[in-house]
Amino acid sequence: MARVVLPEDSTKEISELIDVLISLFFESLPRRDQRNWARVYLNGLVRTSGKKTIRNIAGTGASSVEQSLQQFISKSPWDWTPVRRSLAQYLERTAQRPLAWVVQPMVIEKAGDRSVGVGRQFVPQLGRTANCQQASGIWLASSEASFPVEWTLTLPGPWTNELLRRRRAGIPDTARSLTPAQDAVHAVQRMAATWQLQRRPVVMEVANTDIPHSIESFALQDIPFVFKVDGSLPVSFGGAGRHKPGPHTAPARELIDSLRSQRRVVEWTRHGRAEGAVTLLTSAAILATPGEDRPAPLPPTPLLLVGAWTEAALLPSEFWITNIGDRPLAQLFLLAKLTDRVSLDFTETCEPVGIRDFEGRSFRGWHHHATLASVAHASKLLAARGRVPDGFPVPGRPAIGAPGRVARPGAPGPVPRSGPPPVLPPRPLIPGQSARREYIR
């Protein structure tokens, strides 16, 4: 699909929407001028053509504007966490309820060595070594839309070990050099513990070396997950009963392929496409392998290994492990495929608002830019969908669920409802459930 292109008459609606979002998400900014520059930057991310640098957003011949934006983004000490948390809470209440938190890697290739976090490193997504920044976004994803609400920036060793480089970039004392997956896991843990969101399954791709740490970290907080893994991952199975041999260990690919006679066929519709697809699935109960740094590990965590074949393939091509044991296999597969929804929205909406375009050198500036790009993504995507989700306070339009209330630019936020709160369904529908079927071949 092509990138989202907004008609001319929608720019006014987006500007009005941005005014509302400023009043809702940026209340934590202590000064009015900071909120004003947030408004200027957001409108620039949505409207500016080409690369979304501070200079391009400021426009030609506006050096004072450029300096003020530079100060606001790269140097002003406002905390981005309350803004991201407010964005996530608001989207969960008013947009379509998310089915999962999807972790999406982001690679930003660079020519120089001054940008915070840049370094020559092997990037699995590229299949090669690159001079780049590695980041991850955590997205609230449904079958209809997805929104980034939290970001991590991975710091290679030199950025945390070299004191001078660390000070110049303004890297916090608490920041450590971890893998991208470890950074994302810690971010999910913080969201689950402090953001007051309903917990959703976490969908992410995890390298073999990061699997034990990721499983143990989520198990400590009872966070459900669906991890995409490589077929070479060693898994333990069998030996659960008193008279059953085992446990045995084999690569995930071999275990799944041995169960091909138990495959189920799932028909589903790909995100962003009209045509359907057919996938064959099977699963096996396995046990989590404890990390090597755990001398006295806890009892092994029971997990489910899921494998998938495309319709004409001879061998399984995709593999996931999950701690969710109360969902049908087709639902688990469709949860895992929400990564396609995120990839689509990243390409069509998040990239055009400049998520990769920050050219500053500070850790703070990178996170400020990513935060504002997330809000710009939300405003542009909601407007481009041609409708405003129920309850979204568009200027001049009564908010659904709040009779008689008209949202105004600059209003302090939602007012208490006069009636009882809406009753939400106990579980959101998984995409493809109603229109497709699952059966055993």
Q: Provide the β-strand partners of residue 135.
A: 106, 153
pLDDT classification of 62: cutoffs 50, 70, 90: low
Q: Residue 383: CB partners within 8 Å, gap ≥ 6?
A: 6, 10, 13, 14, 17
Rounded to whole angstroms, the Cα distance separating 102 from 146 reads: 9
128 or 294, which is more confident: 128
Using CA atoms, how far apart are residues 160 and 170, in angstroms rounded to an integer?
Answer: 11
Contact 141, 204 (CB under 8 A): no
Q: What CA–CA distances, in Å, run from 237 to 28, 73, 221, 252, 321?
A: 50, 51, 24, 10, 13
> Residues 85, 91, 94, 100: is their CA dihedral positive or negative?
negative
* Segment 34-44, tens digit of pLDDT: 999 999 999 99
SS3 176: coil
Residue 21's closest CA among 396, 356, 386, 392? 392
Judged against a pLDDT cut of 70, whether residue 395 lies above it is answered with no
Token pair belonging to 400: 């659904």
Distance CA 1, CA 31 (A): 41
| Choice between 31 and 290, residue whose per-residue pLDDT is larger | 31
pTM of the model: 0.84
Peptide bond into 247 cis (omega under 30): yes
Long-range contacts of range 161-169, CB-CB < 8 Å, 24 or more positions apart?
Answer: 168/361, 169/116, 169/361, 169/362, 169/363
Radius of gyration of the chain (CA): 23
Assess whether pLDDT exceeds 50 at residue 68: yes
Rounded to the nearest 5 percent, the helix, strand and coil shares of the chain are 35, 20, 45
Q: Which residue has the higher pLDDT, 70 or 413?
A: 70
Pairing of β 128-141 and β 100-109:
antiparallel
Cα 225 to Cα 262: distance, rounded to the nearest angstrom: 24
**pLDDT (0 to 100) of residue 169:** 95
Q: How confident is the model at residue 133 (pLDDT cuts 50, 70, 90)?
A: very high
Give per-residue pLDDT as tens, 215-270: 999 999 999 999 999 999 999 998 655 556 667 899 999 999 999 999 999 999 88
User: What average pLDDT does this structure show over 298-326?
Assistant: 90
